[in-house]
Amino acid sequence: MGAAFMLYAQGLLPFLLPLSVMLFEPTRKSRRRMLPFLVIGGATTLYILWALTAYPLQVFVRGNSIVYINPATNNEAVAVVYVIATCGSLFFSKIRDMVVFGAANLVILLIVMAVKRYAFTSLWCAYAAVASVIILAYFWKSSRHRPFRYDLAI
């Protein structure tokens, strides 16, 4: 289960999040603004998927938190690129709720780094899932304007 979580949280999310934001953008111009984040996220995803298959994954409990360690992904360079792909796409969205969600995620990230850096992956994902209520609110507010034309998204 730990490997499955890492596959999604570290491996797929850096690509899926900017893709999702891009598909929600209301105009072609704002969707194109997401392309750099999609490219960064895609490259990050490819690297992390390679790292998760090439290096052993350690999963254990420490201080009531789950710790995930992979020698190739547990470094600051990967973390910075990951945050750029995920939070960056949210900050450049034209949809206010996406920007608020990005800000909430960045605040959560900084708090987790200050309090429990060793359990960063599991805690940031858990708190980001709670913050996803912001996206739920967006869906409720925009229900009259949907369905969007996803076939015209790119």
Q: Give the domain extent around 121.
A: 2-152
Task: Please give the helix or strand (H or E) that residue 65 lies within, else none.
Answer: strand 65-69
The residue whose two tokens read 């507010």 is: 141
Residue 81 has pLDDT above 60, yes or no: yes
What pLDDT is attached to residue 148? Answer: 57
What pLDDT is attached to residue 41? Answer: 95
Task: Please give the helix or strand (H or E) that residue 121 lies within, else none.
Answer: helix 120-131
Residue 150 has pLDDT above 60, yes or no: no
Residue 38 has pLDDT above 90, yes or no: yes
The rounded percent of the chain whose pLDDT value lies above 90 is: 27
Residue 133 has pLDDT above 80, yes or no: no
Quote the number of domains for the chain. 1
Report, as an integer, the average pLDDT of 52-80.
86
For 32-63, give one letter per residue: b (16+ CB within 10 A) or e.
Answer: ebbeebbebbeebbebbbebbeeeebeeeeee
Residue 149 has pLDDT above 70, yes or no: no
Q: For 8-21, what is each residue's pLDDT tens digit?
A: 888 898 999 999 88
In DSSP terms, which residues pair with 67 in a beta bridge?
Answer: 60
